[in-house]
Amino acid sequence: MNNNESKKAEGEENKKVAEIIVILKESYPDAKTALSHRSPLELLVATILSAQCTDERVNKVTPVLFARYKTAQDFADADMEELKEIIKSTGFYNQKAKYIKEMATDLVKKFDGKVPDTLAELTTLSGVARKTANVVLGSVFGKSEGVVVDTHVKRVSFRLGLTGSKNPEKIEQDLMRLIPKEDWIFISHGLIWHGRKICGARKPQCEKCPLKSLCPSSSV
């Protein structure tokens, strides 16, 4: 591909991405995290619990959890068996309880119990990787330091041809390259909502999809 062809292809790709963003914003203007929270700490804990678990299930557990543990110090001092029992229905509760307690201990020791607002600091916490950090940064602090890649973002972005990878880290890099930084927070919410409402894993509703004309995977 010569330079002119390359520029033309890039221009077409940018146009397609811009159209996808516009349609997603029109379709899901209220897209945001489905995890119930009232503070950065609550969202951080809820996001850890959401691994391999639905947001709906997490939201059934967290009212009891957050009534029992209100601060980072509370979680750091938590009795492990009690903590496990409360979060048991979210699955993998032994590991999640360990991460939550260690994360809270790190918060108390490193940040006086307050959730930091940078990717570099958040990812120093036990059990907090890029995805979890980006959820908190985007939804609580309004900061775009990356793109959240969950199972819905992974599936929908692949079907739309925004990435050719199934690796979350590579997908994030592809989306960060294609999507303007000011839309990084929205694109994750938009793709997640679209994945839940239209582009399901087993039976995507292509006939009613507002993105069907832009989707190389569309069946209609």
Question: Per-residue pLDDT for 139 more than 90?
Answer: yes
Q: What is the DSSP string of the chain?
A: --HHHHHHHHHHHHHHHHHHHHHHHHH-TT----S--SSHHHHHHHHHHTTTS-HHHHHHHHHHHHHH--SHHHHHT--HHHHHHHHGGGS-HHHHHHHHHHHHHHHHHHHTTPPPSSHHHHTTSTT--HHHHHHHHHHTS---SS----HHHHHHHHHTTS-S---HHHHHHHHHHHS-GGGHHHHHHHHHHHHHHTS-SS---GGG-TTGGG-TT---
Question: Per-residue pLDDT for 1 more than 60?
Answer: no
Question: Per-residue pLDDT for 169 more than 80?
Answer: yes
Q: Which amino acid is at 210?
A: P
Question: Per-residue pLDDT for 206 more than 90?
Answer: yes
Domains assigned to the chain: 40-139 (1.10.340.30), 146-220 (1.10.1670.10)
Residue 3's pLDDT is 65
Name which of 195, 206, 208, 197 is nearest 153 in CA terms: 195
Q: Which of 55, 96, 101, 131 is catalytic?
A: 131
Answer yes or no: 150 catalytic: yes
CA distance 126 to 103: 5
Q: How confident is the model at residue 4 (pLDDT cuts 50, 70, 90)?
A: low
Is the Cβ–Cβ distance between 158 and 212 less than 8 Å?
no
Q: Which of 74, 106, 117, 150 is catalytic?
A: 150
Question: Per-residue pLDDT for 11 more than 90?
Answer: no
Q: Which amino acid is at 166?
A: K
Backbone angles phi and psi of 130, in degrees to 5:
-55, -45
Q: What is the pTM of this model?
A: 0.91
